[in-house]
Amino acid sequence: MSQHLLVLPILVPLIGALALLLTGKVGHAAQRRMGVALTALLVVISAGLLARAGSGELTFYALGNWQAPFGIVLMLDRLSALMLTLTAVLALGCVLFACAGDDARGSNFHGLFQLQLMGLNGAFLTGDLFNLFVFFEILLLASYALLMHGGGKARVGAGLHYVILNLAGSALFLVALGVLYGATGTLNMADMARRLATMSGDETALVTAGALLLIVVFSLKAALLPLYFWLPRTYSAALAPVAALFAIMTKVGLYAILRVQSLIFADSPVAEPVAAWLWWSGLATIALAGIGVLAARDLRPLIAYLVLVSVGTLLAATALATPQANTALLYYLLHTTLICGALYLIAELIGQQRGKAGTRLVRARRLHQRFLLGGFFLVAAVAVSGLPPLAGALGKLLLLQAAEGAARLWLWPLLLLAGLSALIAMSRAGSVFFWASYKGEVAAGRVSRAQLAGVIWLLASAPLLVGFGGPVSDYTRATAEQLADPGAKIAQLFGDESLPHMARFQSLEETRR
Amino acid sequence: MELLFSLVVGVLTASGIYLLLRGRTFPVIVGLTLLSYAVNLFLFSTGGLNTDAAAVIGESLTPTDPLPQALVLTAIVIGFAMTAFVVILAIRARSELGSDHVDGQQGEAGDGR
């Protein structure tokens, strides 16, 4: 039984989603209970997998018992277990928050939510590039519907852009897969790495082209500089719990980049040009998103730009490709995902007590529960701008330490300035929301118990990640070391057996001659 | 055959991208469809272009690679579902936004195409 644990993060949401969709008419209370129970179960399963991967054990699961490289394998290492747990924890906060009433604004919220989780979990677990494409499509399709949940002009308009852009991205993904398959003859990630190692100079030119195309697609999902313009509008239009869940969506792109860079292209000449692109676009993303944070006139786009700052930071750190940098970036990733999710939920709470003004940065009526919301906002603002004593400061410190030599000259000023602009923007937003107000309050919009639970669940990560900073950073350090040793995965999956049908094209061409 | 094949893929891709950059939702959707045709053809060719080669071992002396055909099938199914979704979305956007322009409004007179 325990070997099947690995496939549960995909099966549980899938079966749950089907059950939820089929029982769509039974009423909100039952659907909510089921949605929360399923997500909580996912937290438990991911924690189990985290404990298993934490011992350093690599687990493979051959779907349908078709052996790699012919069948599709799921792969559990420390990185995928970490991402699974992060997703489940974030999702539990979002689904709790949604139970306060956001899920009733359209149909089938909980079913779609579970499908989205299935796509995310699958993308984190799979060890096959084409399977990664399929799970990307599942999570995108669910996200299209979730984004439109609640309807309205802004959502449909933003949704149209998001859908068309991602469809074009999917076409590019397939082209990249085709090029890589044509050049290497396999789609299994570990097998591809094994074959790249035996390739000579001019054969890798095609692989480099395919790899760069692949990185373009992942950068679109991760929202890297020339490809991020869709993000602020999309995330600002979505309902709060959906936007909070989308905080992990950019990280899927980052995970995919980290995975292919560390496993497939690690020892090949392909890694160099990719890292160069990631480094400069990551830095440019930090710079422009830092300006965007200052320019935003509404709290939701402001948070979207904060998400972009974190994306730029993480991708620039990926380009450094040292174990220290990976340790730091994984720690920062945990913190930034949960805090950005929490910020979206807090923005919703603030907006619902300000009447018509919503989350716009203008004077409005006084907030009804200003001490509670002010407290939440303060914690989140301190965490997101990277001030001590919360986890943001620790993550940034680790990142700054990881940069060496010339990289320091670029990363240090940009990272610190982006932190400063986040601080300025958040203080301005906080002063407008909590101090610059008229007399009189909007009666509606008290924070419900479910909303409170969701926000506290996510916000608690900021002090907890500091309190347990030692064990967490030990785990991310071990993860980074595991990533730096792709050979172990290849060896465990294939043993020492030689390549079965290498040089497929050479033999074809010889027969033609 | 290689030349014809690559020309077809190239022309389909170029037309798809051109239509994708238009301002109205209908040409954009047609562009996406053309692009997915081009991609499917391209995927099909990644196993090498052969004639008289079935994807079944034993049917012919030089069997062709069956995997690209499986990939194309998956890509077709997913592409079909996505196209259906985006068509419905475009109709919805037309009724909600009052225009079939991708930005939801006409813009300056004359540049709405």
User: Which residue ranges make up each domain of chain A?
Assistant: 270-486
Contacts of A153 in chain B (CB under 8 A): 96-97, 104
Restricting to B residues 67-106, those with a Cβ less than 8 Å away from any Cβ of A are 67-68, 71, 74-75, 78-79, 81-82, 85-86, 89-90, 92-93, 96-97, 102-104
Entry pTM: 0.92
DSSP string, A92-155: HHHHHHHTTTGGGGSS-HHHHHHHHHHHHHHHHHB-BHHHHHHHHHHHHHHHHHHHTTT--HHH
Using a CB–CB cutoff of 8 Å, tell me whether B12 touches chain A: no
For chain B, list the domains and their CATH numbers.
Answer: 2-48+64-97 (1.10.287)
Distance CA A257, CA A317 (A): 12
Cβ distance of B74 and A130 shorter than 8 Å: yes
Would you tell me how many other CB atoms lie within 10 Å of the CB of residue A494? Answer: 18
Cβ distance of A141 and B36 shorter than 8 Å: no
Tokens of A201: 């100079």
Contacts of A175 in chain B (CB under 8 A): 39, 42
Q: Are B49 and B2 in contact (CB under 8 A)?
A: yes
Residue B24 has pLDDT above 80, yes or no: yes
Cβ distance of B43 and A171 shorter than 8 Å: no
Q: Are A457 and A93 in contact (CB under 8 A)?
A: yes
Considering only CB atoms, A156 lies closest to which of B39, B68, B96, namely B96
What are the angstrom distances between the C-alpha of B57 and each of A103, B61, B64, B107?
52, 8, 8, 59
Cβ distance of A160 and B39 shorter than 8 Å: no
Backbone CA torsion sign across A424, A428, A434, A436:
positive
Quick one: how many helices (H) and strands (E) in chain B? 3, 0
Tokens of A398: 């680790």
Tokens of B99: 């225009």
Distance from CA of A153 to the nearest CA of B (A): 6
What is the number of alpha carbons within 13 Å of residue A343 lying toward its C-beta? 32
For A435-503, where are the alpha helices, taking DSSP H only?
449-459, 461-467, 469-483, 486-494
Residue B78 has pLDDT above 60, yes or no: yes
For residue A486, whether the previous peptide bond is cis, meaning omega lies within 30 degrees of 0, is no
Distance from CA of A156 to the nearest CA of B (A): 6
Cβ distance of B97 and A153 shorter than 8 Å: yes
Using a CB–CB cutoff of 8 Å, tell me whether A511 touches chain B: yes
Amino acid type, A492: Q
Please give the ipTM for the structure prediction.
0.91
Distance from CA of B93 to the nearest CA of A (A): 6
In three-state secondary structure terms, A239 is coil
Contacts of A152 in chain B (CB under 8 A): 96
Cβ distance of A153 and B67 shorter than 8 Å: no
Q: Are A119 and A31 in contact (CB under 8 A)?
A: no
User: What is the predicted pLDDT for the residue at A265?
Assistant: 87
Distance CA A377, CA A355 (A): 18
* Maximum Cα interatomic distance, chain A, rounded to a whole number of Å: 88
User: What is the predicted pLDDT for the residue at A512?
Assistant: 42
Distance CA B86, CA A163 (A): 7
Distance CA A346, CA A377 (A): 7
Cβ distance of A171 and B35 shorter than 8 Å: yes
What digits encode the pLDDT tens for the residues A390-412?
888 888 999 999 888 888 889 99
User: What is the predicted pLDDT for the residue at B34?
Assistant: 95
Which residues make Cβ contacts (< 8 Å) with residue A352, sequence separation at least 6?
A444, A445
Using a CB–CB cutoff of 8 Å, tell me whether A436 touches chain B: no
Cβ distance of A137 and B102 shorter than 8 Å: no
Contacts of B79 in chain A (CB under 8 A): 170
Contacts of B40 in chain A (CB under 8 A): 174
* Maximum Cα interatomic distance, chain B, rounded to a whole number of Å: 64
Q: Which residues of chain A have pLDDT under 70?
A: 1, 443, 496-513
What digits encode the pLDDT tens for the residues A366-395?
888 889 999 999 999 999 998 888 888 888
Tokens 């001490």 locate to A371
User: What is the predicted pLDDT for the residue at A498?
Assistant: 55
User: What is the predicted pLDDT for the residue at B107?
Assistant: 57
User: What is the predicted pLDDT for the residue at A344?
Assistant: 95
What digits encode the pLDDT tens for the residues B82-96?
999 999 999 999 888
